[in-house]
Amino acid sequence: MMSRTLRGGLLAGMLMTSPAVAGTLKVSASDPAAYHTVQAAVDALPDTGGDIDIAPGTYREKIVVAKNGVHLHGTGAKPDDTVLVYGDGASNAGGTFKSYSVLASGDDFSASNLTIQNDYWLNPDNKPSQAVALNLTGDRAVLTHVRLLGHQDTLYANKGTAGRMSRQYFSDCYIEGHVDFIFGNAKAYFKNCHIHGLAHQSVMYTAQSKNSPTEDSAYVFDHCTLTAEAGAQDIALGRAWRPYATVIFLDTDMQANIIKAGWREWTPGKTNTLPFAYYAEYRSTGPGANPTGREPYSLQLTDAQAASWRLDAFFKGDTAWIHQETKREAK
């Protein structure tokens, strides 16, 4: 007869390798009954996804979430308590888009109360390189109380495979970096987020990459706060990675020392993107606001124009996926 100890060990092994059934999976570095890596828990979920609670701690791993309906939640008192981190850069990972710490390509992905970090730049032996913390391309993604930490190219908010648009919603998040650190071609809405520029000779908060006037993509920042370290220089709201870049700041508190023009050319003297980009502000406040002295091609919106960029209008009334996730986090 099989011993109780052996039988229990085999059962535990089966649970760790077989697809999970309904219920919330646990991740903990110290709990023997939990998964010890986030990736192991993601792999154990059924194809329909599920919930993963992650205990406080630092999880150094490169995470891929390709399944739909995966929900990551840090169980600490604050987002700083649960850190998902890796240290790849474009120079060693095979390109910018492979340098991520977390790749979320599945639809209906959510993350809350945790930190996603790429610490490549913190190693003094590494040469400067793009280094993505979160590569987000799934549709209907919701991030709440998440910290995204990096330097160059921190958040890649982009379309999915075959050019399918990705709708993304960020609420009460903290995002930091310096060069082009929120970049890509998603339809992304940032509400009550803190965007922070790190010390660098040139800081660009955004590098949106809408490539055609017919694409339904944009970055909207609604009631956000922009700050920067004292060593941050030449701070711009954005530059156009592709010629039809679309970025709107609504009721934003601009505490950073932003350049008077607000926006800048992709490569001054070499490219000509500003006449085609849609760069706009509405009721910006703070030391970085300069409504009368902005780049001539940018816009200061009227009340009616601003209303067309508010949440419900931006997503054309299809916001049930946002409210559903908000209710989940409130429980």
153 is known as an active-site residue: yes
Whether the CB-CB separation of 167 and 143 falls below 8 Å is answered with no
125 is catalytic: no
CA distance 218 to 221: 10
Per annotation, catalytic residue among 139, 180, 222, 253: 180
Strands 141-149 and 110-118: parallel
**How many residues would you count in the chain?**
331
φ/ψ of residue 12, rounded to 5: -60, -40
* CA-based R_g, the chain, Å: 21
| Backbone region of residue 113 per phi and psi (left: phi > 0; alpha: psi in -120 to 50; beta: other values) | left
Residue 302, class by beta-carbon neighbours within 10 Å (0-12 exposed, 13-18 middle, 19+ buried)?
exposed
Residue 285 identity (one-letter amino acid)? T
Transcribe 100-131 into DSSP letters: -SEEE-STT-EEEEEEEEE-GGGSTTSPP---
Strands (E), 241-309: 246-250, 253-254, 263-264, 278-282, 299-300
Catalytic residue among 88, 107, 153, 222: 153
Which residues are catalytically annotated? 153, 180
